[in-house]
């Protein structure tokens, strides 16, 4: 399910900004909930298990086929080492618990809808159309964003359009403008990222560029469809103890971080509105 709303400017539309966030949440990551301090090592072990287990099985079959018992025995020892990683991966998600998703990513939804409400009350935008697009199924492969971006792509051929995606606004010390997405394979529009970075400076923050090195945001789906995008997020990439766990509820939301992000989004829109 995707939801959208549009706010028209007072004058002719010369610019457009799409404020994007996802309201859906993920099934709980069992090992991040129980073993947060060791989670990264466990993920590495599971990835190695999923890669090497089928490889070793294939090699073992081949060595048996050619009658090399010594190498076959080494394959057996390799299975003892890597098979547990594959078995751990089977139980990665706790399908009985859905994370509340307060920070990931109702924080982004709250900021964008609040900005929309403020701008509607002010009625001061001269030439910039503002859209809020809340895309579902982000946690299931960016499905909502992919569908919306593809369906509406032809509608935005006129005024200059920028997409600003927010995702997990909670840890101010880790706030970054994400210029690279989807495991570092998708590059967002550099000028859009610089604009958000400049808005951050206006809010008193020197925001570095960052890379989503494991996973992706909805901004990746928009960029892949040819939109000019930037993404803003504020989460400890360790990952945080609340990420995709039952800890991610309203009681641990950070109002100061949310206020800073809200100011950055507001400043970004105002900077766009005075461009032309």
pLDDT at 199: 97
3-class DSSP string for 200-217: HHHCCCCCCEEECCCCCC
Taking the C-alpha atoms of residue 103 and residue 211, their distance in angstroms, rounded to an integer, is 19
pLDDT at site 123: 86
Instruction: Tell me the pLDDT of the chain (276 aa) as tens digits.
Output: 899 999 999 999 999 999 999 999 999 999 999 999 999 999 999 999 999 999 999 998 888 888 888 888 888 899 999 999 999 999 999 999 999 999 999 999 999 999 999 999 998 899 999 999 999 999 999 999 999 999 998 887 677 999 999 999 999 999 999 999 999 999 999 999 999 999 999 999 999 999 998 899 999 999 999 999 999 999 999 899 999 999 999 999 999 999 999 999 999 999 999 875
Residues 113-140 as b/e (b if ≥16 CB within 10 A, e otherwise) read: bebbeebeeeeebebbbbbbbbbbbbbe
Residue 124: per-residue pLDDT: 87
The pLDDT assigned to 238 comes to: 87
DSSP 129: E
Q: Report the distance separating Cα 94 and Cα 27, nearest Å.
A: 6
**In the prediction, which pLDDT does 214 show?**
85
According to the model, what pLDDT value does residue 157 have?
67
pLDDT the model gives residue 67: 83
Structure pTM?
Answer: 0.92
- Confirm if 227 and 145 have CB atoms less than 8 A apart: no
Report the half-sphere exposure of 51 (CA within 13 A, side-chain side).
6
Residues linked to residue 2 through DSSP beta bridges, in sequence order: none
The backbone torsions φ and ψ at residue 135, rounded to the nearest 5 degrees and listed phi first, read -105, 130
pLDDT confidence of residue 207:
97
């Amino acid at each position: 399910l995707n939801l959208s709303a549009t706010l028209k400017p007072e004058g002719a539309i010369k610019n457009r900004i799409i404020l994007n966030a996802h309201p859906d949440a993920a099934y709980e990551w069992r090992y991040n909930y129980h073993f947060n301090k060791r989670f990264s090592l466990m993920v590495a072990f599971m990835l190695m298990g999923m890669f090497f287990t089928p490889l070793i099985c294939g090699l073992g079959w081949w060595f048996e086929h050619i009658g090399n018992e010594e190498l076959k025995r080494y394959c057996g020892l390799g299975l003892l080492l890597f098979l547990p990683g594959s078995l751990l991966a089977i139980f990665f998600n706790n399908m009985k618990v859905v994370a509340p998703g307060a920070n990931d990513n109702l924080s982004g939804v709250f900021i964008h809808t609040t900005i929309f409400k403020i701008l509607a009350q002010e009625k001061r935008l001269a030439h910039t159309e503002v859209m809020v697009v809340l895309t579902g199924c982000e946690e299931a492969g960016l499905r909502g964003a992919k569908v919306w971006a593809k369906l509406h792509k032809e509608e935005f051929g006129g005024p200059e359009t920028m997409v600003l995606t927010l995702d997990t606004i909670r840890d101010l010390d880790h706030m970054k403008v994400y210029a690279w997405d989807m495991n570092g394979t998708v590059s967002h529009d550099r000028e859009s990222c610089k604009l958000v970075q400049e808005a951050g400076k206006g809010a008193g923050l020197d925001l570095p560029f960052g890379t989503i090195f494991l996973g992706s945001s909805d901004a990746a789906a928009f960029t892949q469809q040819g939109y000019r995008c930037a993404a803003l997020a504020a989460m400890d990439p360790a990952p945080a103890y609340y990420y995709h766990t039952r800890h991610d509820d309203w009681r641990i939301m950070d109002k100061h971080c949310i206020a800073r992000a809200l100011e950055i989004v507001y400043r970004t829109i105002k900077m766009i509105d005075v461009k032309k």
